Amino acid sequence: MLYHKIKQSLVKPPYIILFCMCSLLVVFITRTLSLGYYPLLDTTEARYGEMVRIMLETGDWVTPQFNYGVPFLGKPPLFIWVSALFAKFSVVNEFSLRFASIIVSLITMFVTWCLANFQFGKNYAWLSITIIATTVIHIVLSGAIVAEPVLLLSISLIISGFWIGMKSELPKQASTWRYVFFIGIAVGLLAKGLVVGILGITPIIIWCIYTNNLSKAIRKFPWFTGTILTLVIALPWYILAEIKNPGFLKYFIIGEHFNRYLMPSWEGDRYGHAHNEPLGYIWLIWLVATLPWSLIFTTLFINNLRKKIIKTNTISTNLNQWRSFLYIAFFTPLIFFSFAHNIIWTYSFATVIPMGLLIALWAKTKIENSKQWFCWPVSVSMINLVAVIAMTIWLMLGSVISPQKQLLVTAYAANNSTSNINITYWKDLPFSGRFYSKGQAKICYNLAELESSIAKSLAENHYYIMSQNRMDSLPENIKSKFIVIKAIDNWLLLSLVNN
């Protein structure tokens, strides 16, 4: 009897909201605490972290640089700008660079909360953002130096601005959110480029056609002034980038938006390597990346199809339209990327908002219909909360190290200095090596360069870093000139015998 009373009380909105608020606090506080306790990870984080450092050092805010003098034209720079702004007013380190993504994620949660609250109230809103925030991919990327958090913000702005702008009966509220829609498009153009059209706008067009709302959307939205607003925000950077880097628009629009996805092993990628995954691989990526909620979503979706729960004649038009809107927003990116070979796990990030809203809708319906606490939102959230706390403790204990950071720290410490020493890599220079040496590390690509470097360095304070495999492949007459100072994993810090 007592257990039954407890379950009955927990279904009341104040308790649901309190549980969700506590869950979100745990996730974001623990994730924030973890940010400075592990190094920038190669290749992605260290690469973007180095771009931020170079941007701050050179003062060039138009063109992110892959290396000094080498422009990075693979993505718009909004996420680089955000990280650089936070780092500019503090120390350029792991915490300051990653903290920008935490703030962006909090804004995304707020915008999504406003959307869900508009649709079905605070109870639904808090359930929705709790589910979104406790997916594996959101926990990881909300504290990483990547473009995806800013892209997710743009998607949230677009779908929230569109839905509230379409459905609100309050003129001022509707007008405000219609312009939020256009701001979201601008953010997407500066976050990832034209792909925002696929992830944010295409689902809206499909939904408008499917529900016969296309003419209504055309009438309601300020397409002229809204488009002007979008262009004022996004277009200046594209123009400046083309002026400073002739050919940028051709490479970025054609190469990065079409060839990247349609051509397996695309050789035009200047900044990484192409992935040649099987068609439809995005579904497996989504299943793993959005755990544990992907399992809940799949189970509920299959059960609903079997039971044929969704019947248009038994539910309100508003609810039916809301469900169809979320389903289309969820399936569009997955179907689109099903035909692409060159994909990575972060491409599934766009699904977390509609997925979270759909799962919360099922939970809300169950709660209201049965007047009992729907146990799986609690149990699943608790699993992830325990996991994120354990991960934070593990990181704070120093369980993740960067060989490059540790070797460079050793080299500097040996000389009681953070400058006036020379660091040279043999053949491989990871991005983390560039970042932690503050861009001072050099690289030799062939034996002639290495021998010349050794000859010039005999009387200098010089260290070399290379992998064990590279060391083993050196000729004996060169290998004998090195002394191993420190070894971490497969990497060696070396000095010269005469030094």
Q: What is the pLDDT of residues 249-307, one digit of tens each?
A: 887 877 666 655 555 555 555 555 555 668 888 999 999 999 889 988 998 888 877 76
Mean pLDDT of the chain: 84
| pLDDT tier at 1, thresholds 50, 70, 90 | very low
Q: Torsion angle, CA of 451/455/458/461, rounded to 10 degrees?
A: -70
d(Cα 28, Cα 105) in Å, to the nearest integer? 9
Average of per-residue pLDDT across 162-179: 95
- 50, β-bridge pairs: none
Which residue, among 75, 74, 85, has the nearest Cα to 52 in the 3D structure? Answer: 85
d(Cα 360, Cα 220) in Å, to the nearest integer? 29
CB 348 within 8 A of CB 152: no
Residue 483's φ and ψ, nearest 5 degrees, are -120, 135
Helices (H), 59-169: 78-88, 94-120, 122-133, 136-141, 148-167
Picking from 98-102, 178-182, 374-378, which range would have the lowest pLDDT averaged per residue?
A: 374-378
Residue 103's φ and ψ, nearest 5 degrees, are -65, -45
Contacts of 351 (CB under 8 A, 6+ apart): 286, 290, 330, 333, 334
DSSP symbol at 215: H
Region of 121 (left: φ > 0; alpha: ψ -120 to 50; beta: rest) is: left
pLDDT at 497: 77
Average of per-residue pLDDT across 349-372: 81
What are the extents of the domains in the chain? Answer: 2-396, 403-496
pLDDT digits 0-9 by tens, 224-254:
999 999 999 999 999 999 999 898 888 787 7
**Could you give the angle at which helices 317-337 and 148-167 cross, rounded to 10 degrees?**
150
Give yes or no for residue 402 having a pLDDT over 90: no
Average of per-residue pLDDT across 448-474: 83
Give yes or no for residue 310 having a pLDDT over 60: no
Please provide the size of the chain in residues: 499
pTM score above 0.85? yes
- Third-level CATH fold of 403-496: D-Maltodextrin-Binding Protein; domain 2 (3.40.190)
